[in-house]
Structure 1
Amino acid sequence: MTTCEVPVERSAPLLGGQFFRLLVIVLGSGLSMYLLTSVVPLYLAANSSAGLGPGLSTGAMMLSAVAMELVVPRLLARWGYRVVLGLGLILMGLPAVALMFTTSLPVVVLISMIRGAGLAINVVGAVALIADLAPPSRRGEALGVYGVVVGVPAVVGLPLGVYLINVIGYDALFAIAAVLALAVLGLTVGIPTRTTTEKSHVKVLHDLRGNGLLMPAFVFAGVTLAAGISITFLPLAAGNHSLAATALFLQAATAPGARWLAGRYGDRLGHARLLPLALLLATLGAAGLIFITTPAAVIAGATLFGIGFGAAQNLTLTMMYDRAPTSRYGQVSALWNLAYDGGWGIGAIAFGTVVATTGYPLAFALTAATIALGLLPALRAATRSPSHR
């Protein structure tokens, strides 16, 4: 073993008490979120807000999440993990109850914004805490386990929420979403109060030049741009709801497993070394949607993209933590989540503008090309990175 190699310590169990508590919190808050992600737009459409309402509620939620992510490191530095994560759960749970008593578009949009702020708090705080709790030699694996857990609510909650509307109705579903977030609030008692985030590093966009954080963030933003496009426009482009539902399910279902595997093998082989492969798979997957009228190409493309997207999530995040001191962990988490949500939102808006002129095949080709742009910096990082074994 050379001096630059990192020993891999695997004797201690990864799922310790605090880590397990955090994963349960992530599961509860994620289910609360995704059960209503597609339901709130339908709720507005069913109550005379079918035009601007559905898109506005989702857009407001995402905009609120991005804005909140800029201040979460400051909150962590001042109040610590326990208080901040508890606040996030409350902001997700209580507003869901309020949905039972209103169909007003402005009020529902405001509720969506509050829940978006809660989501931002939970994802940024959870990722930063995992980086604190996990030993450096197993950080990638720990983030991979988190990726699996955080992916389950998306796979289960999105279709389940829509299904339950006709079974139990909107009000009961809103109540369930509230309970899921608030029920895990008690688990924050076992969460550390202190954070390694220092007050000098609470500004998310401060002092980023020369520290190696921007490259993986921008590369990942290119992948999330394509993710936002596929989620938003695949059903419209395919013109076949069954095909679109199958493709999106495979994309969502393959991502968590790929995220975990990328973390596990990245700890052994080097995360930077695996990133080009993840980007290549994501590029090929996005390119498969060029043949939007061919079901086999759509299914294969969505599956490949899900694998590449999941792997890129873990690899870029772990690379950023490996390049940052512990005092910047809150900043790293917020920056990575900004790349996630910002790329998602920009992709959906930009694609909608482009496709009106180019049509779907060319627009999907441009999407694949956008991901491919990240291959060059990723290959440079891979050649400069020593293997961990």
Structure 2
Amino acid sequence: MLRVPGVGALVLMSLLGFAGYALLLPTAPLWAAHGGADEGGAGLVNAVLMLATVAFQTAVPGALRRLGWRTTLVAGVLLLGLPSPALALTDQLGWILVASAVRGAGFAVVTVCGATAIAELVDSSRRGRAIGVYGLAVAAPQVLLTPSAAWFAEEVDFRVVLVAGALPALAVPFAAALGRLLDGTVAGGAAEALGVPRSGRARTLLALALPSVVLLAVTTPGGALLTFAPQLGHGAAVAMVGLLGLTVAAALSRWLVGGLADRYGPSRFVPPLLVLCAAGLGLCGWSLTGSGPGPVGLVAGMTIVGVSYGSLQNLTLVTAFAAVPDRDRSIASAVWNIGFDAGTGLGSLVVGFVAAGTSFTVGLLTTAALCLAVAPAALVGGRRHAPPHA
């Protein structure tokens, strides 16, 4: 896959872009808590990041059509990276929320363009594997950086991590190279297709509804664990190990499930993965109670959640691209990314406020119930739309 023109630049851009995202995902809320914010206020940090991301994701297809790939991609990595060092100026919540909103605009560009680019660069017969490679590039920074970022911030220095969050800005050369290639190949009718389609809009959005709901169901608990792992009461070291388990499991499963999706179709794997996610969340919630298995249970539960979290990212994106005509790829990418980031923000916001009023156990069990509620719909929808060979 790395020999396919453009894929190498996309991978390097994604590695640097998501490095900044991964460093600040657990650290920025913890920085707000350091400044005196409660669980609800800390949860607002990633909720605002994702709200801004979702809001700007709807505008990315139009930006690609009007500005072109190169300009849009370069602007995206700069918006994502440059505000990060500004967070080091103060730990006051209002300032952190403003910087998070600006970063969200850049993250919107990086996420939508990345997923759309992989569909443009690789033919449909190898798309599951291509998405797996892209997913590995997205997940690798989270494996390496998210588990250690909060620990390093607390034990060494918050400001070092916050300044390192500017890494996406270093991706400008790769974003420009990828943009030049796509500006030269995605032309004419394809470029026009990057806008919202004039006809069949409702049909396109309806076809994307089920994979988006499934993705929302699994990214809600994923976002909650990524945000609040350092605040679950078992200490920074346990949080680091738990996040390592979650992110490693997510990265490997997102990569490996691509071949299975190409061979058997994605739909048969979705319902059991949702149930598995609920089981992992139940174990996490139990581990936070006095009668639970403690730190070992939390790490095991987070790792189980990671398997579903990574696998369903790949499977829902494959399903989204298969559900729409090629001309609507950027729409599928935007809708998929909206589901992903809305779930991440929702998990941060809802679990934060539930925990502030009750406990983190209740918050995590609430997200487990969401997974179980969506599983029957995924089972029925998967059977209805399963390809003949599956």
* TM-score of the superposed pair, with normalisation by structure 2: 0.84
Offset, 1:387 = 5.7
Q: What's the CA shift string for 1:219-241, capped at 9, x where partnerless?
A: 21111122223334455455454
- Aligned residue number for residue 3 of structure 1: none
SS of equivalent residue, structure 2 residue 68: helix
Cα offset, 1:19, TM superposition: 0.6
Change (3 A) 1:111 1:367: closer
Query: Any conservation in 1 of the 2:151–2:240 contact (CA below 8 Å)?
Result: no
2:6 counterpart residue number: 18
- Please list the CA deviations of residues 134-175 of structure 1 after superposition, one character each: whole Å capped at 9, or x if unmatched: 110111111111111111111222244345558985555555
> What letter matches 2:349 in structure 1?
I
Letter in 2 for 1:140: G
CA gap of 1:247–1:164, structure 2 versus 1, over 3 A, is: closer
Instruction: Report the equivalent of 1:223.
Output: 218
1:270/1:387 contact within 8 Å kept: no
Name 1:303's counterpart in structure 2.
303
**Matching residue of 1:115:** 103
Amino acid corresponding to residue 329 of structure 1 in structure 2: R
In the comparison of the two structures, how many residue pairs are matched? 374
For the pair 1:258 / 2:253, whether they are aligned, the reply is yes
- SS across alignment from 1:126: helix
In the TM superposition, residue 245 of structure 1 has moved relative to its aligned partner by 3.2
1:310 positional shift: 0.8
Structure 1 residues 59 and 350: CA distance shift in structure 2, 3 A = closer
Are residue 144 (structure 1) and residue 143 (structure 2) matched?
no
* Match in the other structure for 1:248: 243
Q: 2:47 touches 2:346 (CA, 8 Å); kept in 1? A: no
Runs of 5+ in structure 1 lacking a partner? Answer: 1-12
- Alignment-derived partner of residue 52 in structure 2: 64
Displacement, 1:319? 0.2
Shift of 1:182: 2.5
1:164–1:135 CA distance, 2 compared to 1 (3 A):
same
Residue matched to 1:386: 387
1:289 aligns with 2:284: yes
Change in 2 beyond 3 A, CA 1:57/1:380: closer
Aligned partners of 1:358 and 1:45: how far apart in 2? 18
Residues 23-48 of structure 1 deviation map (CA, whole Å, 9 limit, x = unaligned): 000001111222233444455555x5
1:183 has 2:184 as partner: no
- The CA distance in 1 between the partners of 2:174 and 2:356, in whole Å, is 48
Q: Distance in 1 between matches of 2:228 and 2:165?
A: 26
The correspondence of residues 1-389 of structure 1 with structure 2, limited to 5 A, is: 13=1, 15-43=3-31, 48=35, 50=37, 54-99=42-87, 106-162=94-150, 164-165=152-153, 169=157, 173-178=161-166, 180-191=167-178, 192-193=182-183, 194=186, 196=190, 198=193, 200-201=195-196, 206-208=201-203, 211-292=206-287, 293-295=292-294, 296-355=296-355, 359-361=359-361, 363-384=363-384, 385-386=386-387, 388=389
Question: How far 1:286 moved relative to its partner?
Answer: 1.8
Uncovered stretches (5+) of structure 2, i.e. residues with no partner: none
Give the partner amino acid of 1:18: G
1:371 to partner: Cα distance: 0.4
1:135 and 1:219 mapped to 2: Cα distance?
25
One-letter amino acid of the structure 2 residue matched with residue 83 of structure 1: T
Instruction: Verify the 8 A CA contact 1:30 1:154 in the aligned structure 2.
Output: yes
